[in-house]
Amino acid sequence: MTDARDTGLTLDPKYDRDGLITAVVTDARSGEVLMVAHMNGQALALTVETRLAHFWSRSRQSLWKKGETSGHMLEVCDIRIDCDQDAVWVKAIPAGPTCHTGARSCFFRRVGSEGLSPVDAAD
């Protein structure tokens, strides 16, 4: 059974008990997954308003604008919310590496039977 949240056109995010929803960020041009983070209501509102990605840092317990110190901001092109409104998909143009390690994407390692291995830039 579906309800208005599932099929309607009213934004009604279903935040978890900590007041957060999952945010998946992809490169708007290539479709590559860049990062996964969390947003609270303020981060989502600022992202919609400024078209720059904002998140909630669970480790620092604070709001942060991606790239504020590094300059590697994420210019938002599109924001989508899933069917039950507990996750968002942000399509963005990165101004540089997305990962705090300096990698283009936070997903730069592959999991295999032998453990972790690096992902080639072409993969």
**Which residues are annotated as part of the binding site?**
82-84, 86, 99, 106
DSSP string, the chain: ---HHHHSSS------TTS-EEEEEEETTT--EEEEEEE-HHHHHHHHHHSB-EEEETTTTEEEETTTTTS--EEEEEEEE-TTSSEEEEEEEESS--STTS-SSS--EEEETTEEEEPPTT-
Binding-site residues for Zn(2+) sit at 83, 99, 106
Query: Residue 39 in contact with residue 21, Cβ under 8 Å?
Result: yes
